[in-house]
């Protein structure tokens, strides 16, 4: 636990340090009007997260991992519940498209992307929680490194080379989340073949 705690602290320090370093760069490269798009996107991530991820990662997962003997099946079932929730949110988003666009001030493609982003973050958080529970710090440290350096670097490429600006930050976060979540998907969903 002590060794894992050191690596978790390193991962958190990396994340905070990267945010401190790259935020001033973003604010200089992205005009305020466009930066508002990214701010609105990240602000609504918390709201959408309640409905898509169902707040299952963290204390809920830790409690379940402590209580149930079939730990892998429990995490797999939580991921399947999140998937069902994502499908429901996507269907409701299509039905109430105009209302959502006017409420969020986001183009509809970003509303849909937001739902998928929160889902990917939720799946990743499930696997991170499981890794922490078993003191497997390697995954957590690699996640910290990839997101602290990968997202900003890809964002800067999108902004500087493709002139995508706020959209570049959003797409960079989504692409890195998707690529990093693929191994988590494979591990979680291969654990159980049926809903529990």
pLDDT tens-digit profile, the chain (196 residues): 556 566 667 766 766 777 767 777 777 777 777 878 888 888 898 888 888 888 776 666 667 666 766 666 777 888 888 899 999 999 999 999 999 999 888 999 999 999 999 999 888 888 777 777 666 766 777 777 888 888 888 988 998 888 888 888 899 999 999 988 888 777 777 755 444 4
Least Cα distance to 52 among 19, 102, 88 occurs for 88
pLDDT of residue 93: 94
Distance CA(143)–CA(123), nearest Å, equals 13
pLDDT of residue 196: 44
Residue 56: DSSP 8-state: -
């Amino acid at each position: 636990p002590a060794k894992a705690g050191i690596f978790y602290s390193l991962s958190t320090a990396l994340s905070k340090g990267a945010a401190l370093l790259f935020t001033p760069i973003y604010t200089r490269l992205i005009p305020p009007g466009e930066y508002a798009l990214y701010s609105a996107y990240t602000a609504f991530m918390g709201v959408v997260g309640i409905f898509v991820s169902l707040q299952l990662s963290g204390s809920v997962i830790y409690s379940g991992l402590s209580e149930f003997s079939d730990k892998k099946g429990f995490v797999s079932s939580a991921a399947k519940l999140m998937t069902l929730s994502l499908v429901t949110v996507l269907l409701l988003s299509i039905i109430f498209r105009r209302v959502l666009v006017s409420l969020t001030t986001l183009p509809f493609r970003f509303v849909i992307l937001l739902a998928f982003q929160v889902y990917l973050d939720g799946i990743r958080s499930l696997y991170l929680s499981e890794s922490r529970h078993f003191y497997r710090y390697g995954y957590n440290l690699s996640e910290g490194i990839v997101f602290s350096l990968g997202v900003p670097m890809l964002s800067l490429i999108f902004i500087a080379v493709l002139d995508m600006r706020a959209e570049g930050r959003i797409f960079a976060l989504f692409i890195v989340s998707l690529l990093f979540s693929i191994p988590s998907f494979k591990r979680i969903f291969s654990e159980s073949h049926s809903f529990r």
